[in-house]
Every structure is written in C-alpha cells, then in structure tokens.
A and B are shown apart, each in its own frame.
Chain A
Amino acid sequence: MRDDRHLWTPPKPLWNPLAFKDANLCAVTLTRQSLISGTNVRKADLPLIEWPDVAKDATYRLSLRRDRVAEINGDIRPEGWNATKGEACSDVSDGYTVLQLKGRAALGILKRGTEISLEHPSASVARKLFGLDVWLYRFGVEDQFRIHVARAYDETLIAHLTTAAQHR
C-alpha cells in the first residue's frame, strides 16, 4: 500500500468563518439531529422544511423522504423502533457536519455544485451538491443556507465551496 499522507491536506476545523467575496461560510453546532422514519412522520406539529422554505424556528424538521424527516434541535428521543408511534428513530447528531453559507453570492456559489433555483421547489431538502449527498435549505433569512453533509466529507465540501466562491 502506498503512503499517501502527503497527498491529502490535514483537516482544519472550521473555528472561524471563511470570508468570501459577498459571502461567508461557517460551521454550526446544533443541539441535536435525529432521523425519524415512519409512515406518518410528515404530519407533526413542528415546521416541515422543504425547498425553498426558510426555517425560522429553533426546532424544525427537514423533509427528506415521503417517510423520513430529520428533526433538528428536538427533544432527546429513545432510539430504535417505537411501535406505538410507528416510528424508527436514530440520533445522527455526530453523523452530519452542518455548514452555513450566507450572503449575496451564496446562491451563486451553490449553483456551481448543483442545478438549483428558488423557482424550482422540491419536497425534499436532500440533494447532491458537488457530487456529495447533503441536506440543503434556507435558515433564518433568505440568503442564508444550511448544508448538512456526512462528517467524513465535510473537508471536501468546504474545499468545493471555497473554490466555487473564488469565481465571480
């Protein structure tokens, strides 16, 4: 096997926001991310975020599939199959790194990685961005985007966003 340690840049945690032209990128720490699957998960009291909705609450659910949501900052839930509720739940707080991209140039940066527009709605916030599976939605304000990506690919996504942000 070949020693490739010098071919890969050692990972740098995103402690401080990266400043781009007309946009910035930072990491977000959430209290909790939970996968909840079941036939009725889309019917709940919490706001269900699709694309291009703007999530504005402290706790909200991301629409992923017809039978799956990701609950953000919700209560601690027991993991496994809940027969009463008909739901399967798993904690994924450590499975996804959450990035936040904000600014006038933010949507343009995202368009380097996927065919996306505010005029084309989608029932799911799950899509591919730069070839990586992500959950992408707006949070707080119209030009602020949250991106959940598998932890093992967060370096790759940050590199892609940085490269894309350099093109104007």
Chain B
Amino acid sequence: MRRLDDKGAVIDRAKPLNFTFDGKPYQGFAGDTLASALMANGVRIVGRSFKYHRPRGFWGAWVDDPNAIMSVTLNGIELPNCLATTTYLENGMEARAVNAWPTAKHDIKGGLDLFHRFLGAGFYYKTFIWPDWHLFEPMIRKMAGLGAVTPDHLDEFHSDQIHDHCDTLIIGGGASGLTAARVAAEAGQNVVLVDDQAQPGGSSYQTGTIADTAAADWIAAQMAAIKTAGGRVLHQTTAYGVYDHGLIACVENGAFGTAPRLWRIRAGRAVLATGAIDRPLTFAGNDKPGVMSLFASAEYLVRYGVLASDNAVVLANHSMAKEAVATLTAAGMAITQIDPDTPGLKAGGWQVTNGISVSGRHHPSDVVLATSGLTPLVHLWRHAGGKLTWDDARQAFLPDGQLSNMQAIGAANGTFDLNHALDEAQAAGLGQSHPRQDTSHHLTPVWPKPGSKGRQWIDFQHDVTLKDIEVAARENYVSVEHLKRYTTLGMASDQGKTSNMAGLAAMATLKGATIPEIGTTTFRPPFVPIPLEVYHGAKTKQLYHPVKRLVLEARHRDADAALCEYGGWLRPGWYGNGAAADHIRDEAMTARTTAGILDGSPLGKIEVMGPDAEAFVNFVFYNTMTTLKPGHIRYGFLLTEGGIVYDDGVVSRIDNDRFLISCSSSHVDGVRSLLENWRQDGNNPDRIFIHDLTMQWATITVTGPKARDILNGLDLDADVSADALPHMRFIETHHQGHPLRIARVSFSGDLSFELSIPSRHAPNLWDKVTAVAGTMDAHPIGIEAMSILRAEKGYIMVGKDTDGETMPQDVGFGIPRRKKTNAFVGDRSLHTDKANVPSRKVLVGLSVPHGEPPLVTGAHVVTDGANQRSLGYVTSSYHSPFLSRAIALGMIEGAVERVGDEVTVWHDGSNRRARIVSPCFLDPNGERLHA
C-alpha cells in the first residue's frame, strides 16, 4: 500500500496533515479520508470485528465499509464510532480503533476467536446457560458493544434544522446526478443537488474520460453549469430518508466536531442517482485484512492516489471488472485473475491475507480484490414505497414500476453502462421517464455455497458466517426478517450494505428457493448512522419543554419565590430560601389569619360571545347556565361526552351575550379546543365566538379575613362591601385609568377577591397590593399553601381528586343530572348502568387520630379481613397548620354510607386506621366564605 505521485484527483499535496492512529503518528493530505491516509501509510489492520475480535482491514472506500470504525479526537472533542472511510482528515486528529485494546493490530481479546464454536448465532439461547446465564451475562455484555461514549457533554453541539423546498431534488452527484441536475436547472426548475462527498463526481473519477473530456474536467464543467443555471449544490450532504408528501431528510456534515445540519427538503420530485456498491464474494478466509472490494481499490487510486498493493489477486464474476482491472494495471499493479467460482477457494495468511490458495496452488499477494457484482442503492426508493424487481442478468434488485414523485437513474437504477445512464439522466432532468435498457455487461452468478468448507464471512462487522445462516435455516428461522434478527446479519452500523445479498442468497440455496422468493428486509431511514442531535436540534434544556412565564416573575424572584412547574406554567410554589415545609406552613397560616396574596394569572379567561352564547354555554356545561344573571358567577363542570369531569371552573356572565369562562390553568388549551369543537361541530359558529384572553389579563388573588381591608386600602373607585359585592359576584371598574375586574370567588374557602387587570399593569398593582397587605401582616403565598387551604374546605383539584372515571355526582354535584332538561355534553352518559352503580367511588374526607402524620397520597383504603381489596385511595393529604392536624381527601367506594366508619389505609406494606368524614374540615356553614 502506497501513495503514487501522479494520481489522486481530490487530494491537495500542498497541504500535508498530521494525525495518529492507535498512538502512532502518520501524515496525509487535505482531501484524504482517514482511510485513504492510513492506506497510503500501509496500515492494514484498522479494527476488530464485533464478536470474535478478528482483525479487520478496509473493504470499501465510502459508506459501504463495515470494518474501519474508529473513535476520533480533535481539539478536545472525541466522537465515537466514526467510519474512517467517510471521515475527512483534519490536522491533529487522533484516531483509535474501537473494540480493540491496546491497538487494532494487537488486541488482547483476539483470543476470543478461539471460542467461536460457543459464540455462534443465537448462542445466548444455547451456551452459557449452566449453571446460570446471569453469571456470564455481565461479562458478555461488557465485552459486547462497539466504541465508548465519553462522559463529557458537548454543550455547543447543536444541530441546525432548516426547512427548504425545491422543484427537483437530485440525490447523488455522480455522472448521472450531475447531468440530471444540469439539465433540470437549465430547464428553469428550482434544483437542489445533494452529494455526500466533499468532491462530487461519485465513481466518475474511475472513468478516464466522459464525453471526450477528462473526468475531473467534465465534473467541474457540470458543477459550473449547474450553478450558472441557478441550481444549488449541498456537499457532504446525505439524503438519509424519504418521508410522506415529498419530504426528504438530508444531513449535511461540516468540520469534525461540529453538529451536522438537518435539511428538511420538500421536493416537488426527486431523482435518485445514488449509485451502486460492490458486493463481496463468500469464500474461506474472506474476512482477512487485505481482502477488499475491487471497485473500492480503484476508487482509492483515482480519488486519493493510493495503490492498495503492487500485486493483487482479482476475483471477479462479471465484465464490469474489466475497466477497474485496467485502471489498476495502468497504475502499476500486477494482477492475477482467478475464477471465483472455483471450489475450495481460500484466502490464506494469519493476521492479514497473504494471497489465495485454490486447487492445490497458492497465489501470493498482499491484497485480494473481490467483486461478485454491483448492488444498486435502492433504499430511498423503498422508503418512498417503490417496489423492487429481481433482475437475473444483474443478479440484483432494481427499482420497479413508477412513483409519482421519484425516478431512479444510473447505477441506482441498475444502469451500469455510462452512455445509457447519461440518457436516463437527460430524460430525468426534464422530468421524463426513460425505459431501462438491457445491460451490455454479463455476469456469472457466484453466491455462497452452504455446506462448503472453511469459515466464510457474510457480515464482517457482526461476525455472521455462512455456518450461522445454515444454523438459522436448520432451526427454521427461514423468513428473511427472522434470518436477520436471529443471526444479527445486517444489524450492524452498516445495516447490511455488504452482507444482505449474500445472506439472502445463502438462505435461498438452503431453502431451494430463488433469491426474489426470499425477498429483502424492510429498508428504513436513516441510510447512514446519524447523531441524535439531528433529531432534537435546539430543543434541549430550557427549550426542550418550555414553560409559560408569568408577567410578575421578576417580582416573585425578588421575593425569593421557589418557582416550580404547575400545569405548564412556572409559578411560585412558596416564597423563601429556607425549608420549603416551613414556608408553606407559614403561608397557609397567614392566609387564614390575615390574608394571602396569590398570583392567579394563569387561570383561564375564555370569553364566549354572540346571540347563541347563552345556549352554547348551557350546552357545554353540566350546570345550568341559562339562569345565570349578568354580574353573577357560577361554579360548573365541563364534562366529556362520556360524562367524565374534564375541568371545573367558574362562569361569569358579563352581559346577556357575553360569558367569561374561567377554567383551570392547566387545561386552558384543552378547554378552548373543546369549546371551539362544539362551536363548529354541532352548533352555529356564526352566532358564537370564542376569544381566549388568558394572556391579556393578569389576576391577583387576595384571600383571607383581611382581604376586604386590603382592597379598601388600595383606594379603588369601587364598593367592595359585603352588601355591594356578595360572594360569587363581580364588578367592572377602573384603576388608574385601566380596566379592573373584581370578582368575589374563593378557592381557599375564606373571603376572597380576584383582581384582574391587563397584564402590563400587573406589576404596578402587585406592588400596591403587597405594600398594603404588608402593613396588615399579610403576604404573598404560593401554590403549595393554596393547595392546603382548598383541601381544608374539600374543594377538588380536577385530575388530582378526580380521575378518568369521576362523574359530577361522585364529587357532590348531582342536581343537574336529575333536573337539567336541556341537552348538555355528557348528559346521556350520566344515566348508564355504570353511572348508577351504588359502589361508585365518591369524594370523602379521611381523618386520622390527632397527632398522627398525614396519610400518604395514593394510599389505598382496603377492606378488612381476608382477601383485602382496594375500595379507593387517598387523593390529597396534608398537614393543616390552621387546624393543627392532618387532613385528607379520597375517592372511596360507596362512601356516603360509610361516613363515620373506621377503615384501614394500606401503603407499602403498612396499615393505618382512618375515619371517613365529610370532605369539608373547615367552616362548614361558610361564615368565613360569606364574610
């Protein structure tokens, strides 16, 4: 293996680059891949196979290599499992073979190969079972795996994700793709050409001349013409998946250590010019380093100027090999050709090959260049739903039939004759179809021979041999999808690019079937491995699942609020930097003794307006709303059609044809969707209009015995006395020229006002309210304290005290079910057998003896005696500082009859005793509420 002085179309000898492999220093040039640079330096063993740790050398020159997998470090960034054949060399790169220690050449686990008889296909079902698989499993798992991920996190490794569109997407920049792109661009189409190499041209460099022009010049001329005509070219960009409606995903690679860019290209049509890859031959010792693809060897020569060897044995079964042999011979390689169909063919040598032995003769050479034909890369055709047909002459699966927005040309289409390929490309550029011509080449099929002697490799990376396929067939894993999973053939990082065909052919022979009868496994994106960053892009950390932010957040932070996520919003759970439990307890006490100030801005504010607003609100709500008068507020439930409580909230009637629905903060989007759906599907949308004003208004809740005093201290131009503003009423007024709505509603069970003001004025109002409150020893409180207060009153939180089966009558609201005559959502479901079952779970309180700690939320109330079963569970449980005792709510079967009973509460193996009581622990007559 050496670099020639006069070859290498894509390397720049003026730019030498230094790198290391397995600790040893080497030099290459700009334009080299790690593979071509290593080959130029005579490195033959570049990795170890997955299972048996057998030495591996280069098979291919691009994505079709299954062996040269390396961990690469540059400038402090280490990326695992880079394929050396597709990693462009950069100065300072340090590459290490994965799956080998200390080096690929001398791997201490190389001895594993001696145990290959115990490690065949499905070995974990057959060996290492006695005395116990679990004794062997950790060791075997530790030895498995390819590469290691460093624990360092690459903070700046974010993939750009961009949408784009074009009329025509040309996939592949070989001779066919370049031609099609030029023709399409010159015809005025909006064209994008993607090519996965740094220098386009595909395998064209192997062709001496195209259209009487030197290949390199011809390629450059196509590129110039494409750009002049307005076409765009993306280099180092792989189209890896075809999705619905013309969407094609491409990944664009940049400098080492930079995250690739995702292009989501919506193409009017696509032209598949992805080419074809060389196929290995199956014979004894065919996995030895030095056995490589004939066409890859030609590619290393023409692109990178690397001659794989001065002498080679060529095993080829088709006439396309002639050109490659001629190219290599002209560069000085002495070639011996041997018929690959000869029985007993074997690659000799210990760590690396030393030539071919056959029919009693040994043909010494450093490399064996093998090919059993070309396999068109039809993956994207299959993603698009295109069918394949088996072609006997080419012994390959070819694109078959028509797709409305994709056509295949050139080698991807099985068109290996250049003149035919260019004709196809010309037609494709113009969007015309072109019938596939017969190939001028001839090929004698040479497929694996099951039962023949010697260890013969099918999947080089996963170490699947011909014998493994025989085992699979013997054990009846004969379907192609079972064959794959049982043997792991085609499941390595190369996804069977060089192993699938041989595997199918072997199974076909074993079954006495044809290759098309065996079929292919499903082709799935991505075509090449891509990092997960490509999928998530910028959506990490705070952008992974963004929360909604309060307009008062800065005020809360200034007051040392512990900000927690509640229902999609970032809200104060409590205030203070000490122990949470202490702050929460203090806030709950303050709210009951003086007052608490709560930022209630996330509460939904959805207005329903129009001539049919009343009828509509009455239809969507469980409770009767037709009798709600302007200025009044009513608590109500929104049900699903299954009669289940979806959300609770209050409805305020502002005017005859204007209602304000105040739904739970966490359900605003759901409620809005529910309302819009009923508005448009089942009602007249021209007479009902729904405006979601949740963001427009901020709400400050003032709750507690001092609440009215605080409002009076604000100098409002409104009468908030008990007579002027009773419970469940509201008034609209102004404050400093801005609209202010004051609603008297209570979630705490105490005298409570909700002040709503346009968001931009909230900070000002908050400052005033908290200042006045402060003079009365009233303070801001968070959600945690409020959760305790409402539980003391038995007020539910939908989704916490209710579940997917709770109906309104279960939580104490049974009247509309019996009395409401207008149709409403969920009405019929409230009278099914299930709805009438006496053992339905019902909301109750649970009380424990004084001094005992709170019950665990989720603990089950169980029957006593043998065969304990659950009667329900604890839904909310707190220590109430105001009542100096533990309180709890729960949903328990048939509990109405059980009020007063003692029950057993089970949690995690322990039992406690509790008594079923009313869910209202505080002020049952509502004196505090109606103050």
Contacts and interface: CB of A to CB of B under 8 A. Distances in A.
> Is there a contact between chains A and B in the complex with CB atoms less than 8 Å apart?
yes
Contact of B163 (A35, A114, A150, A152): A114
Contacts of B165: 115, 117, 119-120
Interface in B661-704: 685-686, 689, 691, 693-697
A78 to B, nearest CB: 11
A155 interface: yes
Contact of B563 (A5, A81, A114, A120): A5
A5 B562 contact: yes
A156 B553 contact: no
A13 to B, nearest CB: 9
Nearest to B557: A10
A83 B611 CA distance: 8
Interface string B416-429: 00000000000000
Contacts of A1: 562, 564, 566, 573, 580, 783-784
A70 B743 CA distance: 28
A91 B758 contact: yes
B686 A39 contact: yes
A80 B607 CA distance: 9
A11 B549 contact: yes
Given A1-B573, A3-B564, A80-B609, A94 B689 contact: no
Contacts of A119: 165
A15 interface: no
A95 B551 CA distance: 10
A114 B163 CA distance: 7
Contacts, number: 139
Interface stretch (B10-18, B271-279, B472-480, B652-660): B652-660
B696 A95 contact: yes
A7 B544 CA distance: 12
Given A5-B561, A90-B693, A95-B696, A81 B658 contact: yes
Interface string B136-171: 000000000000000000000010111111000000
Nearest to A167: B160
B266 A93 contact: no
A152 B569 contact: yes
B562 A111 contact: no
Contacts of A26: none
B564 A167 contact: no
B863 interface: no
A41 B261 CA distance: 43
A8 B570 contact: yes
A114 B546 CA distance: 17
Contact of A112 (B161, B546, B563): B161
A94 B609 contact: no
Given A80-B654, A92-B693, A5 B163 contact: no
Contacts of A167: 160, 162, 261
Contacts of B158: 163
B564 A152 contact: no
A120 B564 CA distance: 41
A4 B570 contact: yes
Contact of B542 (A7, A67, A95): A7
A156 B549 CA distance: 9
Interface in B555-582: 557, 561-566, 569-570, 573, 580
Nearest to B695: A95
Contacts of A151: 551, 695, 759
A109 to B, nearest CB: 10
Contact of A115 (B163, B547, B610, B758): B163
A83 B609 CA distance: 10
Interface string A140-168: 00000000001111111001100110010
B725 interface: no
B549 A67 contact: no
Contacts of B759: 94-95, 151
Contacts of A39: 686
Interface string A31-58: 0000101110000000000000000000
Contacts of A2: 564
Contacts of A11: 549, 553-554
A7 to B, nearest CB: 7
A88 interface: yes
B330 interface: no
B557 A3 contact: no
B421 to A, nearest CB: 32
Given A90-B696, A91-B758, A164 B691 contact: no
B765 interface: no
A108 interface: yes
B655 A94 contact: no
A96 interface: yes
B436 interface: no
A112 B607 CA distance: 34
B655 A112 contact: no
A123 interface: no
A94 B551 CA distance: 10
A150 to B, nearest CB: 5
A115 B554 CA distance: 35
Contacts of B686: 39, 67
B696 A94 contact: yes
B538 interface: yes
A3 B562 contact: yes
B378 interface: no
Contacts of A5: 557, 561-563
B695 A111 contact: no
A26 to B, nearest CB: 18
A157 to B, nearest CB: 9
B114 interface: no
B655 A81 contact: yes
Contacts of A68: 689
A3 B547 CA distance: 14
A90 B580 CA distance: 40
Nearest to B566: A1
Given A88-B691, A160-B538, A167-B160, A152 B554 contact: no
B543 interface: yes
A111 B161 CA distance: 9
Interface in B527-559: 538, 542-543, 546-551, 553-554, 557
A16 interface: no
A131 B611 CA distance: 34
A84 interface: no
B613 interface: yes
A116 interface: yes
Interface string A6-23: 011111000000000000
Contacts of B654: 80
Given A9-B542, A95-B696, A159-B542, A152 B550 contact: yes
B190 to A, nearest CB: 9
A8 B542 CA distance: 7
A44 B875 CA distance: 54
B820 interface: no
Contacts of B553: 10-11
Instruction: Identify the interface centre among A80, A91, A111: most chain B CB within 10 Å of its CB.
Output: A80
B693 A83 contact: no
B691 A90 contact: yes
Contacts of B564: 1-4
Instruction: Identify the interface centre among A3, A9, A88: most chain B CB within 10 Å of its CB.
Output: A88
A156 B160 contact: no
Contacts of B162: 108, 111-112, 167
Nearest to A7: B542
Contacts of B161: 112
Interface of A: 1-5, 7-11, 35, 37-39, 67-68, 80-81, 83, 88, 90-96, 108, 111-112, 114-117, 119-120, 150-156, 159-160, 163-164, 167
10 contacts: A8-B547, A11-B554, A80-B654, A81-B613, A83-B657, A93-B758, A115-B165, A119-B165, A163-B538, A167-B160
Given A81-B609, A95-B694, 11 more contacts: A1-B580, A5-B557, A5-B561, A10-B557, A11-B549, A80-B657, A83-B611, A90-B693, A95-B759, A115-B165, A150-B548
